C-alpha cells in the first residue's frame, strides 16, 4: 500500500497570517502521525512565508515517522539541511510571487548544480528527491544527476477542466512513473491532490507515497486533524471514497 506524507505548511500559513504563536505546526505533525500518517512534509521557503527555521528544528526533534524537507536547490538551503538532517530533502523550484509551487524543476538546465547538491546531501546520509513534471526527459535527467527519488508533480492532473484533459495528464503521469520505475528511482507524487482526485492515481502501483497538504489541512479546519488524516489514509488503503 502506498504511504501518506502530510504537508503541514498551511498550519504555519494560518499562524503567520496573524503573526502569533498558533496554530502550532509541531502539534499538527504529532496529531497527523498519531492518526496514521507515514511521514511529515514541510517546505522551508527562502522567503519564510510560512514555515520558519524554528519549526524545522522542532520537527526534527519530534517527528517519529519520516521528515521530508522541501526546499530550493541553493547553497544556503543545503547548508541548513546538512545541519538539521531531515530524512529526505525534496528539491523544488521557487518563485517569490507564486502562491504555491507552480511546476517541476528543470533538471537538465541545472544538472551540474543539482548533482553537486545531491552528492553533498547523500554524503550526509540524506535521501534526495526531485520534484518534477510528469515528463520522460525530466525523469531521465533526474536519474542522471543521481537522485534517489522523484516526486511527480500532479498539479495539472488535479486541475484538469474536463475528462479529456484529465486523461492526457493521467497518461503523462503513468508514462513518467513507468520510466522512473525502470530506472530504479523511488517514486512519490503530490500537488493539488484531494480526497476525490487521488482515487484514480491509486491504480499506479509504483507510486510509493503521496504528499498531500492543502486538502487535508482544509478538511482539518472543519473536522479536526485526526479525522482528516484518517479519512485520507482510509482512501489510500481501500481505493474507495464510498464512506467519505
Catalytic residues, by residue number, are 43, 70, 191
CB 231 within 8 A of CB 194: no
Gap between the Cα atoms of 185 and 142, Å rounded = 9
Write the DSSP string, 159-176: T--SHHHHHHHHHHHHHH
The answer to whether the Cα torsion of 41, 58, 81, 71 is positive or negative is: positive
C-alpha distances out from residue 151 to 6, 58, 183, 219, Å: 14, 25, 14, 24
- 93: burial class by Cβ within 10 Å (0-12, 13-18, 19+)? middle
Gap between the Cα atoms of 113 and 73, Å rounded = 8
CB 7 within 8 A of CB 228: no
Amino acid at each position: 500500500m502506498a504511504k501518506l506524507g502530510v504537508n503541514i505548511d498551511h498550519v504555519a500559513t494560518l499562524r503567520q497570517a496573524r503573526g502569533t504563536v498558533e496554530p502550532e505546526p509541531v502539534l499538527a505533525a504529532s496529531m497527523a502521525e498519531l492518526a496514521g500518517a507515514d511521514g511529515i512534509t514541510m517546505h522551508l521557503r527562502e522567503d519564510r512565508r510560512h514555515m520558519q527555521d524554528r519549526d524545522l528544528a522542532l520537527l526534527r526533534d519530534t517527528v517519529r515517522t519520516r521528515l521530508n524537507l522541501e526546499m530550493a536547490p541553493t547553497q544556503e538551503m543545503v547548508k541548513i539541511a546538512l545541519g538539521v538532517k531531515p530524512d529526505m530533502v525534496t528539491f523544488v523550484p521557487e518563485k517569490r510571487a507564486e502562491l504555491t509551487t507552480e511546476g517541476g524543476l528543470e533538471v537538465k538546465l541545472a544538472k551540474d548544480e543539482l548533482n553537486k547538491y545531491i552528492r553533498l546531501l547523500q554524503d550526509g546520509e540524506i535521501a534526495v528527491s526531485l520534484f518534477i513534471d510528469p515528463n520522460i526527459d525530466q525523469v531521465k535527467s533526474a536519474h542522471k544527476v543521481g537522485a534517489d527519488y522523484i516526486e511527480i508533480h500532479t498539479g495539472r492532473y488535479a486541475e484538469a477542466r474536463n475528462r479529456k484533459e484529465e486523461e492526457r495528464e493521467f497518461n503523462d503521469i503513468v508514462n513518467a512513473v513507468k520510466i522512473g520505475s525502470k530506472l530504479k528511482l523511488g517514486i512519490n507524487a503530490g500537488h493539488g491532490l484531494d480526497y476525490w482526485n487521488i482515487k484514480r492515481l491509486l491504480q499506479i502501483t509504483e507510486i510509493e507515497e503521496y504528499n498531500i497538504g492543502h486538502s487535508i489541512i482544509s478538511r482539518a479546519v472543519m473536522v479536526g486533524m485526526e479525522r482528516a488524516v484518517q479519512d485520507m489514509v482510509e482512501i489510500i488503503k481501500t481505493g474507495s471514497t464510498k464512506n467519505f
